[in-house]
Structure 1
């Protein structure tokens, strides 16, 4: 009887150690808050690199987090495509929110949930996922233009894209009407 108790105690102890080891290594599925997961993905996937206007800071150009994810500043006028010397040369503006190339001029979208100017204002989660999967607005509209790396992001899981959507729906709203893209100069 004593032997069985010792074996049972040892088995329970080893099971507990194994469970702790698997959990600490991420091998046991965890319930993750989608908003927290979305924040992590937005902050590690380069979203701020283009969708947050850059400004000159103490260490040089950096994202202006007071305008986080608000896209190309509406007050920064771009009227025409700059003249580019070669067919596949591109140019970007100092805020890192407007890009010119053979596709014309593209402007980064306002990803905040602003009800008047945010790109997600009338987009469902399914449409957001379709947008990233298909490279078209709401999954069926005009093509998403360079330099948006949607061909890489479309490889994210539905859960990750849903988490990004959940996070973007709750970030502070910033009213900023981003202009429509400009057609290429012929």
Structure 2
């Protein structure tokens, strides 16, 4: 699945990948917050229902998404792989709820979130002996 489950399936990473297939790709309620704002992993099982296979190919080739979505990975996939991904997600069927809406920069999200802004240690740049 090209690593899609890691973000698009709730608790997938924390469970060591043991989430049941019927829960795969339904999105997650945990945000990813950084200078771009706070983004959420889309519920792909709902999202893919809105596209024909040909529309999906066009969307995958033109997608530009906010971090941490690696949209360039879709762009670089072969048509055969994109078609297989589309068919797999569609056969899972629609399930779950839509992801929370994007939260603009400098606005605190009201959901759990990962901070993706690098934090420097307070002693960064000082000599160890000081």
After TM superposition, the score normalised by the length of structure 2 is 0.69
CA distance in 1, matches of 2:35, 2:55: 27
Counterpart in 2 of 1:179?
100
Alignment of 1:110 onto 2:43: yes
Counterpart in 1 of 2:87?
166
After TM superposition, the score normalised by the length of structure 1 is 0.50
Corresponding pairs, count: 104
Alignment of 1:54 onto 2:4: no
| Structure 2 runs not aligned, ≥5 long | 108-130
Residue 152 of structure 1, CA deviation: 2.3
Q: Which structure has greater helix proportion?
A: 1
**Is contact 2:9-2:27 (8 Å) kept?**
yes
1:62-95, CA deviations, whole angstroms, 9 ceiling, x for partnerless residues? 243352110024xxxxxxxxxxxxxxxxxxx4xx
CA distance in 1, matches of 2:74, 2:98: 25
CA distance in 2, matches of 1:174, 1:99: 22
Rg comparison, structure with higher value: 1
The one of 69, 73, 76 equivalent to 2:25 is 69
Alignment of 1:126 onto 2:54: yes
> Do the aligned partners of residues 121 and 172 (structure 1) sit closer, same or farther apart at CA in structure 2, a change above 3 Å counting?
closer
Runs of 4+ displaced beyond 6 Å: none
CA RMSD of aligned residues (A): 2.1
- More relative contact order in 1 or in 2 (CA 8 Å, sep 6+)? 2
SS at match of 1:160: helix
SS at match of 2:58: helix
